[in-house]
Amino acid sequence: MQLLVITIDKCDEFLNTLEGLRAHGMNGIVFDSTSLKHALLESDINAAPIFAGVSKLVRHDFEPSHTAFLLLNDDQIEHAKRVVRRNTNGLGRKGVMFTIPITSYEGIEE
């Protein structure tokens, strides 16, 4: 069993990917996420007092993204990755996906 983690910056591609995964019986959970760069740009941590307010006025060209977590059997992983690649025309700089081996879990069963 593995945990597949997928983050895609483009919302329409992310939703199409989720639809593709769901159509093949795969399910998971989705969290709102953002990059470290975006989080720091939106923050006033370590900003000089005069610049802290200005940083809130500057428009940043970053969208929040979403991250999906899917707990899949080993034989589903390659198929899920193909679905992601197909719906994003290759991830490139649009996002990231990776797997983490899971040795045990408890909870919801089908």
Average pLDDT for 25-52? 68
Give the tokens for residue 96: 């990231």
Among the listed ranges 49-58, 78-87, 94-103, which one has the minimum average pLDDT value?
49-58
Between 98 and 34, name the one with better pLDDT. Answer: 98
Domains of the chain by residue range: 2-34+65-101
CATH 3.40.718.10 fits 2-34+65-101, yes or no: no
Q: What is the pTM of this model?
A: 0.74
Beta strands in the chain (DSSP E): 2-8, 29-33, 65-72, 95-101
CB atoms within 10 A of CB 6: 26
Mean pLDDT lowest for which of 11-15, 70-74, 91-95? 91-95
Task: Give residue 38's pLDDT.
Answer: 62
Average pLDDT over the chain, rounded to whole?
A: 80
DSSP-assigned states of every residue in 10-39: -HHHHHHHHHHHHHTT---EEEEE--HHHH
pLDDT at residue 101 greater than cutoff 90: yes
Q: What is the pLDDT of residues 39-82, one digit of tens each?
A: 666 555 555 555 445 455 455 555 567 899 999 999 999 999 99
